Amino acid sequence: MFRKPFRALAGLAVVSLLAGALALPAGAATHSAASVQGVTSSEIDITAIVSDLDGLRAKFGNVFSAKLTTGNLLKRWQSLADAYGPINGRKVVVKGAVWDPTDNTTFDKACTQATQDQKAFLVVQGNGYRPSSIGCVTVDNKTPFFFGESVYPALQQASGDNLFSLGVPSDLSGLNTVSVAKEQNLIPTTAKIGILSANEPGVKAAGDAAEAEAKKVGYTVASKIEVNSLSADPTIINRETAASVATFKAAGVDTVISAVNFTQAKGYYTEVANTNAGFKTILVDAASSMCTIYGASQIPASMAGSNCVTTWDTRSVPAKNAVKKDNAFEAECRKQFDTTFAETSQPGAPAGDKTVNGVNYTEDFAPNECTIMSVLLPAIKKAGKSLTWAKVAANLKKTTKAPAAYMSDGTGGFGPKKNYFATSVHSAVLVGADGTTAKDASGLYGGCPIPVQCFVPLVGAGSSEWVPIKTK
């Protein structure tokens, strides 16, 4: 079953936790676990912030799969805690806080739920939450947060060890996108580059870093546009991204580096197609779900051929002739997920299932949740009966190598001055696949495991798919 292998596979993390703890930061708790928020003699309370899918269904009707419910999102977290078992005599209890993805005012409500109403020991979030709202938890309410995506430098600095994440920080995403694109000749030296960015702090950091690196390595940046994503109005944002196309064309741009989320950049995608702009588009993986299995399924088909440099993996292989096998840790994650939901997950299928030509493809397992809990729970256990977040944070920072699911070539790690888990990135190309795509001799759809758009990884000039994250 999942419990024993889960602990065994997390062994790398546990062994690395044997070194001494970090010094307590100013203001950190030094009292007994009994007085620590979210910790009682019998429970450790964790709040998972999830999208209010039930509320969206009530507002808009049955616009997505019946299995996409708020309860099922929370079940992903609780089932992993249950599989691991009690920690030092305490049961890990996962409670839910929700936000409405169509209403930006609800981010603060989710923060209040997690830190004031529930008073959790820590908050976890898999994907989709706005990074600029994390500071409400980590800074304003001094509550630890483990995030499944990317954060930006100012947020990390303000949060300190109250914030850990899986993804590559947004500024490093921008830097590595340009660096890898140059090394793999994805952008010719003669290119005239346009950068599509936004004033959301994480996206801005990515766009600024991409611009700086492009100039550093000798590219010509002909135009840079920042749309007002803080307006929180999708119609206005998409109108602005659409308008960027004319501006780029007037500047002679032939290659666009975009850090704007696919939901906000649909105006850009549509205008590129409608005007036959002919831009080569490179995606910076600094926004939610940008270059993931789900993200690939949402980007307009007209953008097939776009590249992305990312830590996230798919089940496609560079040769486009096989489905990538799970590593040992991923296999345990999949087994646990399938047991929890009484289904057989299919590699490459987006969340909530996908039906194509009458055939239903069952959603893939949730890798971010599994990876987070695989390093978090052992770190809590090692902290002992007298539990404090300072001890847990110290243990996480000593977890310098541990298994990873669907990211970073199967391994990741934190460090003394590294609060993000990713250690490597690869480049990938968006491959168009849909109900009209014929199954090939390998039983695939242009390299995609199912007839849905996917990212297929590329192999660099050094014959290696994955490269270490460049930090400067």
Please tell me the CATH code under which domain 3-168+365-422 is placed.
3.40.50.2300
pLDDT given for residue 260 in this prediction: 93
The model's pLDDT over 277-300, given as tens digits with 9 standing for 90+, comes to 999 999 999 888 889 998 898 888
pLDDT given for residue 462 in this prediction: 62
Residue 461 binned pLDDT confidence (cut-offs 50, 70, 90) = low
Specify the higher pLDDT residue, 40 or 22: 40
Least confidently predicted of 27-36, 104-113, 212-221, 423-432: 27-36
Question: 3-168+365-422 and 170-318+425-468 share one CATH topology?
Answer: yes
For the chain, the domains span 3-168+365-422, 170-318+425-468
Q: Which residues pair with 64 in a beta bridge?
A: none
Percentage of the chain beyond pLDDT 90 is: 79
Residue 105 binned pLDDT confidence (cut-offs 50, 70, 90) = confident
- Say how far apart CA 313 and CA 434 lie, in whole Å: 20
Task: Please state the φ and ψ torsions of residue 8, each to the nearest 5 degrees.
Answer: -65, -45
In the numeric block, the tokens 């995403």 are attached to 173
**Per-residue pLDDT at 67 exceeds 90:** no
Please say whether the beta carbons of 131 and 147 come within 8 A.
Answer: yes
The model's pLDDT over 330-361, given as tens digits with 9 standing for 90+, comes to 999 999 999 999 999 999 999 889 999 999 99
Residue 465 binned pLDDT confidence (cut-offs 50, 70, 90) = very high
pLDDT given for residue 189 in this prediction: 94
**Per-residue pLDDT at 16 exceeds 70:** no
pLDDT given for residue 233 in this prediction: 80
Burial of 445 (C-beta count, 10 Å sphere; 0-12/13-18/19+): buried
Structure-token pair, residue 277: 């702009």
- Say how far apart CA 297 and CA 365 lie, in whole Å: 16
Superfamily of domain 170-318+425-468: Response regulator (3.40.50.2300)
Q: Give Cβ neighbours of residue 200 (< 8 Å, ≥ 6 apart).
A: 130, 132, 229, 230
Q: Give Cβ neighbours of residue 51 (< 8 Å, ≥ 6 apart).
A: 70, 73, 98, 99, 100, 101, 128
pTM attached to this predicted model: 0.90
**Per-residue pLDDT at 202 exceeds 60:** yes
pLDDT given for residue 127 in this prediction: 93
